[in-house]
């Protein structure tokens, strides 16, 4: 009897699950669809959490339509939050308090899975949009978004955006950090501390009286009128309840003269807002308060990174260790006449700038 040869064993690649996509409009519909997946325990970025989006919709961008492209496969999901403008244009749903824009993910840990979900969302967005603008975007996020949208039939134009100063502080105590600061800064702090005119306090929980002092300082500062005090107060309360708030105040003779609003979470300290009373500039209240804040956070919280927010103010270089440029992405739909026309105008404008520069 002849025995037939054994068939070769050929591994079968697992099937890639289909991705479901949908466009969701309005904050309530997004909340119902997310079912808690945009809450703190699921989202590392404060700017992708439902509370932040809800408060932005209520206080910062009231009346502005919120749209969401959501992609899902199994327990993995991706969201991109947008606001629609005229002429089939859209931009990131972000106000002046939002320091970074990015897609939100839940259950998708690897870059490959995130890329699959985001590419599907980008395809869904072709139906209603010719052009989408996203900024400010971190460089790593910009690479993911650019790849996903390019794969989904969009042209992606990337440009420099706002500067962002950060300090790498992993395993770094305050004294080591402070020794590396410029001598001019260290001498200023030493002199002002010796004069003893200022008292500093750092709170980790929300306190209505302390917040009133924060608002009093801001009202007398060099900064423009606060865009939405109600938004910032609500965020401070939420972060205080979570133990992530770091509210710093400096007082001279019992009167608040400087303030800083930080959050610390998951190893990252973010400086959201700061101000000092303009009439107190000679006493350097902001510098003295910064010294107290950095000491507290580096001693008590031990973050791996401190983020000084967005902007290229010269004083940030004294406190931080490196500067990065956040990115601006403009995405043009290759499958629509409006998208092609917009991409052509963008290319022509870029060429003209280069000609003028040369």
What is the pLDDT, as a whole number, of residue 341?
85
* Residue 18 to residue 24: CA distance in whole angstroms: 19
Is pLDDT of 12 > 60?
Answer: no
| Proportion of the chain above pLDDT 90, given as a percent | 85
Quick one: pLDDT band at residue 6, thresholds 50, 70, 90? very low
Instruction: Give the residue with greater pLDDT, 348 vs 142.
Output: 142
Q: Determine the angle formed by the axes of helices 285-296 and 183-195, rounding to 10 degrees.
A: 100
Domain ranges of the chain: 20-163+325-357, 170-303
Within 8 A by CB and 6+ apart from 68, the residues are 23, 24, 25, 30, 33, 79, 80, 81, 82
Q: Read off the pLDDT of each residue in 39-59 and give the average, rounded to a whole number.
A: 97
What is the pLDDT, as a whole number, of residue 338?
87
Instruction: Give the residue with greater pLDDT, 265 vs 14.
Output: 265
What is the pLDDT, as a whole number, of residue 16?
47
Contact 281, 319 (CB under 8 A): no
User: Mind listing the pLDDT tens digit for each residue in 62-93?
Assistant: 999 999 999 999 999 999 999 987 889 999 99
Is pLDDT of 158 > 60?
Answer: yes
Q: Read off the pLDDT of each residue in 91-101 and give the average, rounded to a whole number.
A: 96
* Residue 297 to residue 271: CA distance in whole angstroms: 11
Q: Read off the pLDDT of each residue in 247-262 and give the average, rounded to a whole number.
A: 98
Within 8 A by CB and 6+ apart from 237, the residues are 206
Closest listed residue to residue 38, CA positions, set 94, 79, 95: 79
Half-sphere exposure at residue 220, Cβ-oriented, CA atoms within 13 angstroms: 16
User: Mind listing the pLDDT tens digit for each residue in 282-337?
Assistant: 999 999 999 999 999 999 999 999 999 999 999 999 999 999 999 999 999 999 98
* Residue 172 to residue 187: CA distance in whole angstroms: 21
Domain at 20-163+325-357, CATH class: alpha beta
| Architecture of the structural domain at 170-303 | 3-Layer(aba) Sandwich (3.40)
Q: Read off the pLDDT of each residue in 104-132 and give the average, rounded to a whole number.
A: 95
What is the pLDDT, as a whole number, of residue 357?
66
Which residue's entry shows tokens 């350097």? 284
Residues facing 167 on adjacent strands: 306
Name the DSSP class of 204: S
Is pLDDT of 211 > 80?
Answer: yes
Contact 126, 153 (CB under 8 A): yes
Name the DSSP class of 300: I
Quick check: do 20-163+325-357 and 170-303 share a fold? yes
Quick one: pLDDT band at residue 174, thresholds 50, 70, 90? very high
Quick one: pLDDT band at residue 11, thresholds 50, 70, 90? very low
Q: Read off the pLDDT of each residue in 267-275 and give the average, rounded to a whole number.
A: 97
Quick one: pLDDT band at residue 343, thresholds 50, 70, 90? confident
**pLDDT mean across residues, the chain:** 92
Within 8 A by CB and 6+ apart from 247, the residues are 202, 203, 204, 206, 207, 210, 211, 214, 236, 240, 259, 260, 261, 262
Burial class of residue 8 (count of CB atoms within 10 Å of its CB; 0-12, 13-18, 19+): exposed
Name the DSSP class of 252: E
Quick one: pLDDT band at residue 9, thresholds 50, 70, 90? very low
Q: Please indicate, yes or no, whether the overall pTM of this predicted structure exceeds 0.85.
A: yes
Least confident of 102-106, 311-315, 346-350: 346-350
* Residue 23 to residue 12: CA distance in whole angstroms: 34
What is the pLDDT, as a whole number, of residue 227?
84
What is the pLDDT, as a whole number, of residue 4?
42
């Amino acid at each position: 009897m002849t025995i037939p040869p054994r068939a070769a064993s050929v591994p079968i690649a697992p099937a890639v699950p289909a991705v479901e996509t949908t466009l969701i409009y309005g904050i309530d519909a997004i909340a119902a669809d997310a079912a808690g997946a945009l809450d703190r325990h699921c989202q590392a970025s404060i700017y992708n959490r439902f509370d932040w989006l809800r408060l932005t919709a209520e206080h910062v961008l009231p009346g502005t339509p919120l749209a969401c492209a959501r992609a899902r496969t199994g327990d993995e999901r991706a969201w991109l939050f947008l606001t629609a403008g005229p002429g089939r244009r859209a931009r990131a749903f972000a106000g002046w308090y939002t320091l970074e824009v990015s897609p939100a993910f839940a259950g998708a840990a690897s870059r490959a899975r995130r890329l699959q979900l985001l590419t599907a969302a980008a395809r869904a967005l072709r139906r209603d949009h010719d052009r989408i603008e996203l900024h400010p975007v971190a460089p790593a996020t910009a690479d993911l978004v650019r790849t996903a949208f390019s794969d989904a039939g969009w042209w992606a134009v990337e440009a420099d955006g706002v500067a962002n100063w950060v300090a790498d502080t992993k395993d770094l105590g305050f004294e080591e950090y402070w020794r590396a600061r410029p001598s001019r800064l260290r001498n200023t702090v030493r002199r002002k501390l010796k004069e003893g005119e200022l008292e500093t306090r750092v709170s980790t929980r929300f306190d209505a009286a302390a917040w009133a002092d924060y608002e009093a300082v801001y009202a007398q500062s060099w900064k423009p009128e606060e865009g939405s005090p109600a938004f910032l107060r609500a965020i401070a309360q939420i972060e205080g309840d979570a133990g992530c708030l770091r509210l710093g105040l400096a007082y001279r003779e019992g009167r608040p003269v400087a303030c800083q609003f930080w959050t610390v979470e998951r190893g990252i300290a973010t400086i959201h807002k700061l101000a000092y009373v303009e009439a107190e500039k000679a006493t350097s209240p902001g510098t003295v308060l910064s010294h107290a804040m950095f000491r507290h956070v580096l001693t008590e919280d031990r973050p791996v990174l401190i983020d000084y927010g967005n902007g290229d103010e010269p004083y940030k270089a004294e406190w931080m260790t490196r500067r990065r440029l956040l990115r601006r992405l403009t995405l043009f739909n290759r499958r629509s006449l409006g998208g092609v026309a917009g991409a052509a105008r963008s290319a022509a404008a870029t060429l003209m700038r280069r000609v003028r520069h040369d």
